[in-house]
Structure 1
Amino acid sequence: MTAYFDAETATSLGSNGISYAYRRVGPAGGRPLVLLQHFRGNLDNWDPRLIDALATAHDVITFDNTGVGASTGRTPSTIATMADDAITFLESLDLADVDLLGFSIGSFVAQDIALTRPSLVNRLVLASTAPQGAPGMHGWAPDIIKAIGEPQTDAEGFLHGFFTDSEASRAAGMEFLGRIFARTDGRDAETTWQTRNAQYDAVLKWGTPNFSLLQRLAAITSPVLVANGDDDRMILPWYSHLVASLVPNGTVRLYPDSAHGFLFQHAERFAQDVIDFLAT
C-alpha cells in the first residue's frame, strides 16, 4: 500500500470548471472515506500517521476544495457553497456513496453535504465541530485567531491553537509538525490570504447566532460520530455534545489532554475509533 507520505497528487475536473487536487491511498473498492480539511489547511496538513492508519481499512481520499492549495478558482465565503463544490468534486470521481470525515471548518462543510445530498453520505464523522447558529461561535477567541489567522503563522501559534499547554500534548504537537513537514517532494501549493479571509468569513456567517438553525441537524439521518479533544479552545467540547443531541443518531467521543488537534495527537486511537464506527 502506498503511504500518504509518498502519495502522488492527482487532479479531477469538475463540472464547474474547477480542477481539484487530491490524493488517494488505501485499498481500492468498497466505500471511500473522504476527508474535509481544517481552516487554511491543504493536502500536506493531514497527518500521514492518521491517514495511513485509516487507509489500512479504507480507500481514503483527501482533496483541496475550490481555491485551496493546488485546486483552481477562488475560495468561496460560505459553507453552503463549499459543500456544493465538494459535491461537484465527488461527482467528478463518479462517487455516489461515501463516508465523510470533516475536521473543523471541514466538519461544517460535511454537515451541509449530508443535508444537501443525503443519498451521498453513508456515515459521518465530525471532528472539532459545532452546529450552524450556535451561541458563542461568531468568531474565535482573540488569542486563537492571532495564533492561526495572521498572514504568517509559526510553530508556536500552531501549537497554541491545536494542542494543550501540557508537556505531553506539546511534545505530540512537535512530533506532528515534524511529520507534516517531512515531505519535501511534490508538496501542495500553500493556501493563500484570499482563502484565509474567505474561510474565516464563512466561519463567522456559520457562527452568527440563530437558534432556529439548530433544527437543521434533525434532518441528518446518517449515523454520526462526533469527536473532539477535551480541552479544545477553538471549538469548545460542549458543542460536540450539542451536535450529538441534535442529530437523530449521534455518538460523542472526547480524547484526553488534547485540543483542536486531538486527531493528530491521538492519531492511532482516533483512526481505530473511526474504523470501528464505519464498520458497525
Structure 2
Amino acid sequence: MSTYQTAKTQYLKDPDSETTTYAYRIIGPLSHTTNPSNNSTPLLFLPHFRGVMDLIDPLLINSLATTRPVLLIDYVGTGKSTGKVASTAGESASQIHRFLKLAGFAVVDVLGFSVGSRIAQLVALNAKDSGTGVAVRRLVVAGGTANPVEGNGIQRPRAERAERIPELAAGPEIPFEAFYTLFFRPDEVGRKACEQWWDRLGERSEESSGEPVSRWVDEGYKAWDEAAGIQGQATQLSAFDSVEGSQGNEGSWERLPSLDIPVLVANGSDDYMVPTINTFVTAQRIPKAKAIIYPNSGHAFLYQYAEEFAADVDRFLTAAV
C-alpha cells in the first residue's frame, strides 16, 4: 500500500489543451474504483491557498487512507501540474471535473480545506451540469464557508486579522510564525501543534519518494508579476467573497439547500481567517449536514487533530444516510 511519504506522482495530459497536465497521486489502496460503496469510493483532497500535494500533513493523509484510496492533486498551474491557474472557484471546479473524467473517477467523495473547501462546494454543486458524468457522493467542508452574501449571517474576519492575512499568506516566504498565526491558536497548545505539523511536513522528501519535492505556490518570488499562482488563487477568493461571485455556478449560498448529499462541515473553535460561526451558518443551509467544532484550535484543526479528524471523516463517509 502506498503512503503519503512514498507514493509516486502520476501525470495526465489533457488532450484538449496544449498546456494542461494534471499531476496526482493515489494514497492507500493502489486500485481505484468507480463503485460507490462506503470504503471503495476515492476521497479527493483539495488543499488550501498556496498548498501543493507535497505539503499536506502526512499523518492526516495516511490516517484517512487506512480504509480508502485518497486522491491528491495539484491544482492546474501549481506544484507539479501545468497550465493556467483558474481565476474563479467555479473554473477550478471545472478543471477538477475534467481531471476526474479523464482519469476515470466516476464517483468520488470530496474533502476541501480552506480555499479547497470553496472549490469542493462547487465541485459538488456543479457536478450534474459539468457534462463529465462525475458524481460527488459525500462532501467535507473543512475551514470553509458559503458565499458571504449581504445579510446572510456569514461573517468576514475581524478587521485587525483581515489586515494581516495578505502579508502573512501571500508573501514570498511563508515561515513557521506565519502559519502559527494563520492556522493555530496563539497559546502553548497551538504552538506545540504547529511545531509537530511543521516537522511532519518534512516526512515526504526526495529520499523517501524518489522525486523532487515542490514548495509552496510561488515561494521565493522576486516580483509580484512572477506570482501568477498566488494572483490566480487570490482572485478566486475575492470573486467567491463578492456579491457577483455568489451567482450561478460560482455561488454556493443560494444552492446549498438543494444539495441532496451528506455534508460534514468542520472547523476549529477560533479560526483566524474564516470565523467559526460560519461553520454553523453554512451547515444550516444544507439538509443533510453535520457540524463539528474541535476545541482550542484554529483554521488547521484538521492538522492539530489529524487522527481524530480522520476517524470522524471515516465515520461520516461510512454512516448510513
After TM superposition, is the score higher than 0.5? yes
Moved more, 32-41 or 211-220: 211-220
The within-5 A match list for 1:100-139 is 100-118=110-128, 120-134=135-149, 135-137=154-156
Please say if residues 46 and 116 of structure 2, whose CA atoms lie closer than 8 Å, have aligned partners that are also in contact.
yes
In 1, distance between residues paired with 2:118 and 2:291? 16
Please say if residues 7 and 27 of structure 2, whose CA atoms lie closer than 8 Å, have aligned partners that are also in contact.
yes
Higher Rg: 2
Higher helix fraction (1 or 2) = 1
Aligned partner of 1:150 in structure 2 is 171
Aligned partner of 1:83 in structure 2 is 93
Aligned partner of 1:170 in structure 2 is 191
- Deviation digits for residues 211-241 of structure 1, max 9, x if unmatched? 8752121121111000001111111111111
Q: Within the alignment, does 1:10 sit opposite 2:25 as a pair? A: no
The within-5 A match list for 1:215-254 is 215-254=254-293
Cα shift at 1:150: 1.1
In 2, distance between residues paired with 1:24 and 1:151? 30
- Deviation digits for residues 53-92 of structure 1, max 9, x if unmatched? 0000111010011111110012111001000001111112
Task: Tell me the TM-score normalized by structure 2.
Answer: 0.83
User: Structure 2 counterpart of 1:123, which letter?
Assistant: R
Please say if residues 64 and 70 of structure 2, whose CA atoms lie closer than 8 Å, have aligned partners that are also in contact.
yes
- Deviation digits for residues 121-169 of structure 1, max 9, x if unmatched? 0000000111123454499711222211112221111111111111011
In 1, distance between residues paired with 2:271 and 2:96? 26
Could you say what secondary structure the match of 2:203 adopts? coil
Could you say what secondary structure the match of 2:193 adopts? helix
Aligned partner of 1:194 in structure 2 is 228
Please say if residues 37 and 105 of structure 1, whose CA atoms lie closer than 8 Å, have aligned partners that are also in contact.
yes
Aligned residue among 25, 28, 32 for 2:27: 25
Aligned partner of 1:268 in structure 2 is 307
Could you say what secondary structure the match of 2:255 adopts? helix
Instruction: Report the number of matched residues.
Output: 280
Unaligned runs of 5+ in 1: none
Could you say what secondary structure the match of 1:6 adopts? coil
RMSD: 1.8
- Deviation digits for residues 237-260 of structure 1, max 9, x if unmatched? 111111101111111001011111
In 2, distance between residues paired with 1:2 and 1:174? 26
Moved more, 41-50 or 176-185: 176-185
Please say if residues 4 and 204 of structure 2, whose CA atoms lie closer than 8 Å, have aligned partners that are also in contact.
no
Please say if residues 58 and 203 of structure 2, whose CA atoms lie closer than 8 Å, have aligned partners that are also in contact.
no
Moved more, 65-74 or 114-123: 114-123
Please say if residues 136 and 209 of structure 1, whose CA atoms lie closer than 8 Å, have aligned partners that are also in contact.
no
Moved more, 209-218 or 51-60: 209-218
Q: Within the alignment, does 1:62 sit opposite 2:61 as a pair? A: no
Task: Tell me the TM-score normalized by structure 1.
Answer: 0.95
Could you say what secondary structure the match of 2:2 adopts? coil
Moved more, 178-187 or 72-81: 178-187
User: Structure 1 counterpart of 2:299, which letter?
Assistant: H
User: Structure 2 counterpart of 1:128, which letter?
Assistant: G
Aligned partner of 1:207 in structure 2 is 241
Unaligned runs of 5+ in 2: 34-39, 129-133, 219-226
Aligned partner of 1:34 in structure 2 is 44
Moved more, 168-177 or 6-15: 6-15
Could you say what secondary structure the match of 1:253 adopts? strand
Cα shift at 1:16: 4.1
Could you say what secondary structure the match of 1:205 adopts? helix
Could you say what secondary structure the match of 1:73 adopts? coil
Could you say what secondary structure the match of 1:181 adopts? helix
Could you say what secondary structure the match of 1:123 adopts? strand
Distance 1:112 1:56, change over 3 A: same
Could you say what secondary structure the match of 1:57 adopts? coil
